[in-house]
Structure 1
Amino acid sequence: MSDDLKRGLEGVLVAESELSFIDGDAGKLVYRGYTIEDLARDASYEEVVYLLWHGELPTQDELAEFSSEMATERELADGVLAEIRELADADEVPMAALRTIVSTLSAYDDDADHEDVTDLEANVRKSRRITAKIPTALAAFNRLRNGNDVVSPREDLSHAENFLYMLNDEEPDEVLADTLDMALVLHADHGLNASTFSAMVTASTLSDLHSAVTSAVGTLAGSLHGGANANVMKMLKEIDESDKDPTKWVTDALAEGRRVPGFGHRVYNVKDPRAKILGEKSEALGEAAGDMKWYDYSVAIEEYIGEEKGLAPNVDFYSASTYYQMGIPVDIYTPIFAMSRVAGWTAHVIEQYEDNRIMRPRARYVGEEDLTITPIDER
């Protein structure tokens, strides 16, 4: 294999970005100059979205106006709700449903047919609508598939509070709302990951923002990208049902050729900084509930895999037990990832439009050469 072949585009630079920076050796993640630790501790999801779209953290007045504008966009058109009901009745997979819903949103967006797909103000408006409506759509889909009535969004709640309210038909307590808000901050952007790059490739053709986000959702649906946190929780539940020691379970699983999800990362060579923060949240939720087993299982697995395989956990590993202890259904973990990451997807698409060049990598041909066509009656 030639040295110039980079499978999976590993290590290939394709763009310059002001949005996020990752130092994989130091375990560092930065959004527009701010460390993820500081943002997770001191900034709300709305503040982070504003930061990604506008380049700086908002003032108090700017945040109030921005949050109000987001909140007024939460309602879904009747046609979108009808589509969600059909998807729920068909028992569609949640990520596939979300992919269809995002595409459907364009039919009801006043800026969808904007003549200039690169227009900054129009794209910020579209980004705001998509980001505001995804939680409403996801909560509606989950309730309808379970035979419950749709809960309408409220404008007086934060992004995280409103989603949990619509999901469960009751206002969340402060601990749950703060935990989800922090998780959304942690997932908002992460460089040129597969789904973000997919959105950028779509945008590079001068396709529209809804198409770019739809591409990103479809990419995130893959088990090697967004599905890992759900797989981690399935593993933890299997361990619990087996009555095995977590280390013994993992040993047996590896001997059977099974993969242990939630470990390793294409960028980080050390523990994902987001995993550290979510691990603390998982521990705190366990202590509050008086049930530490999910956190204890996770720690035991982390220590064993670290010692035996030299691998550290990624963000998906501790988000699994964190979401589970919040009462969130396992199969909507990845859609919640999308609910957060849409802020980063749209920010990167807007950045792509600013200095666009169509993505066009090349492949080395390794097939047959100089063949001649045999007449069809002689083949």
Structure 2
Amino acid sequence: MQDDLLLNSDAFIGSLCDEFCKHNYIDPTYYDKFDVKRGLRNADGTGVMAGLTQIGNVQGYVVQDGERVPREGRLIYRGINVEDLIDGFVSEKRFGFEETAYLLLFGALPNRSQLEQFTRLIAQCRTLPASFTEDMIIKAPSPDVMNKLARSVLALYSYDPRPEDGSLENLLRQSLELIARVPTIVAHAYAVKRHYYDNQSLYLHRPQEDMSSAENFLYSVRRDNAFTEDEARLLDLCLVLHAEHGGGNNSAFACRVLSSSGTDTYSSIAAAVGSLKGPRHGGANKKVMEMFGCIEETVRDWKDDDEIKACLEEIINGRLGDGSGLIYGMGHAIYTLSDPRAVILKRFARSLAAKKGMSEEFDLFETVERLSPEVFLSVKGETKTMCANIDMYSGLVYKMMNIPMDLYTPLFAIARIVGWCAHRIEEIHNPGNRIMRPAYKAVAPTRPFVPMDRRI
């Protein structure tokens, strides 16, 4: 009986899908007719100007005579080139994520005393509320860590004595707690996922106050707590590069949209987590590694350009890979000649690949990066300037550090929580703040109400 109901239910749902398609088609020509900014982008590909920010700036082209002219990419944190920021703490052999978080939240680099106090405060906030892991993570495991992270962020509302207080003091307190707690949530959510869905032993580690954020995360997710200094410093670099990317990226914009409504911090940040989970945004690093798994199985000679080109053609035509026709890790909405994050990460990844005996795989990634624009031109006729983005190499770096694929996008979130919190505070405490309310052109035809007995 139940199986019959299920079969009938499936058939009914199929008929509902047909009904939906019949009444919900929008003529693609309408977008040009009504000058709709699809993806909130202008016709030339530039983003629709939606606000002002002092937090981050992404530069990948200049506009001359009304046209976009490609240039080398630059990523700016609070007016400071991220390359200079990284060169500073790397040359002094310091971890940089905490310093970057301070810069993005407050707008200036900390002095030694400020950084020490800030780092100590973050460390003290890492422990989750009493019974949080048991009640919110273990009792409702999820096969996807990002899903569990979003739910856990929302759940923190219930443990906050002042969840609706929008004062600057309270927003900063909530931000510091989120920056500290999100890595712990991710580590515990991953451990529970492995236990319930992968049939692995469950082990949970308490966060350590005497470690940097990067060190603490590696300590927390590994059964034996073991990691090398090189691994921790490279992960720290990844966190810095992912911490912020302007107010127009999808997740930061989602956070700002919700914040403009006056809702609470946890709702706004959970929305950003949900956005980042998508394969067109933060989930792309995982898609890159899945795609390269397919390439590595298909291409017999990783040094044969022609064989690699043929494989990429199959991917673009949707006959190989996930069928999307995308070469994940290539192209960006703003960067043209280069993505500075990819350039920096690639430099460090090359030396790590040599140490790990993975130079041949690294060379394959470089070859795909080099050949992709040529293949897109031959298959699609696209002449758009295209570069590798950070997702091309971040997944490879994580793989070389033996970080599981389940943690690729959550690591992105651990870093980007800093940028989200900074944008939320700026959105709320900005005199020009208004609830975001874009327009949608209604194109449904006018029709009369039909009485029930006259409906077909």
Is the TM value for this pair above 0.5? yes
Q: Give the corresponding residue for 1:29.
A: 75
- After TM superposition, the structure 1 = structure 2 runs for residues 193-232 of structure 1, keeping only pairs within 5 Å, are 193-232=249-288
Deviation string, structure 1 residues 198-251 (Cα, Å, up to 9, x no partner): 000100010011111001001111111111100111122223334534514323
CA shift for structure 1 position 78: 3.2
Say if 2:437 is the partner of 1:360: yes
Gaps of 5+ in 2: 1-31, 42-46, 62-70, 90-95, 195-200, 303-307, 377-384
CA shift for structure 1 position 171: 4.1
CA distance in 1, matches of 2:341, 2:440: 35
- Partner residue of 2:329 out of 259, 262, 265: 262
The alignment partner of 1:24 has SS state of strand
Q: In structure 2, what residue type is equivalent to 1:17?
A: T
CA distance in 2, matches of 1:78, 1:142: 19
The alignment partner of 1:203 has SS state of helix
The alignment partner of 2:448 has SS state of coil
The alignment partner of 1:268 has SS state of coil
Q: Give the corresponding residue for 2:382.
A: none
**Which TM-score applies when normalising by structure 2?**
0.79
- Partner residue of 1:249 out of 273, 294, 311: 311
Q: In structure 2, what residue type is equivalent to 1:28?
A: R
- Partner residue of 1:123 out of 152, 171, 181: 171
Q: Give the corresponding residue for 2:68.
A: none
Say if 2:126 is the partner of 1:74: yes
Change (3 A) 1:124 1:164: same
Instruction: Provide the aligned C-alpha RMSD in A.
Output: 1.6
The alignment partner of 2:411 has SS state of helix
Preserved CA contact (<8 Å) 1:161 1:171:
no
- Partner residue of 1:7 out of 38, 49, 52: 38
From the CA coordinates, give the structure whose radius of gyration is larger.
Answer: 2
CA shift for structure 1 position 166: 0.5
Deviation string, structure 1 residues 329-372 (Cα, Å, up to 9, x no partner): 11211111010000000100000001221000001121102x22
CA distance in 2, matches of 1:160, 1:111: 29
**Which TM-score applies when normalising by structure 1?**
0.94
The alignment partner of 2:76 has SS state of strand
Preserved CA contact (<8 Å) 1:236 1:294:
no
CA shift for structure 1 position 188: 0.5
Preserved CA contact (<8 Å) 2:313 2:375:
no
Q: Give the corresponding residue for 1:290.
A: 357
CA distance in 1, matches of 2:52, 2:77: 14
Deviation string, structure 1 residues 30-74 (Cα, Å, up to 9, x no partner): 011111111223240101100011110100000000000000000
CA shift for structure 1 position 3: 6.9
Q: Give the corresponding residue for 2:242.
A: 187
- After TM superposition, the structure 1 = structure 2 runs for residues 330-349 of structure 1, keeping only pairs within 5 Å, are 330-349=405-424
CA distance in 1, matches of 2:331, 2:139: 38
How many pairs align? Answer: 373
Q: In structure 2, what residue type is equivalent to 1:41?
A: D
Q: In structure 1, what residue type is equivalent to 2:129?
A: A
Q: Give the corresponding residue for 1:142.
A: 190
Say if 2:219 is the partner of 1:165: yes
Q: In structure 1, what residue type is equivalent to 2:437?
A: R
- Partner residue of 1:373 out of 449, 452, 455: 449
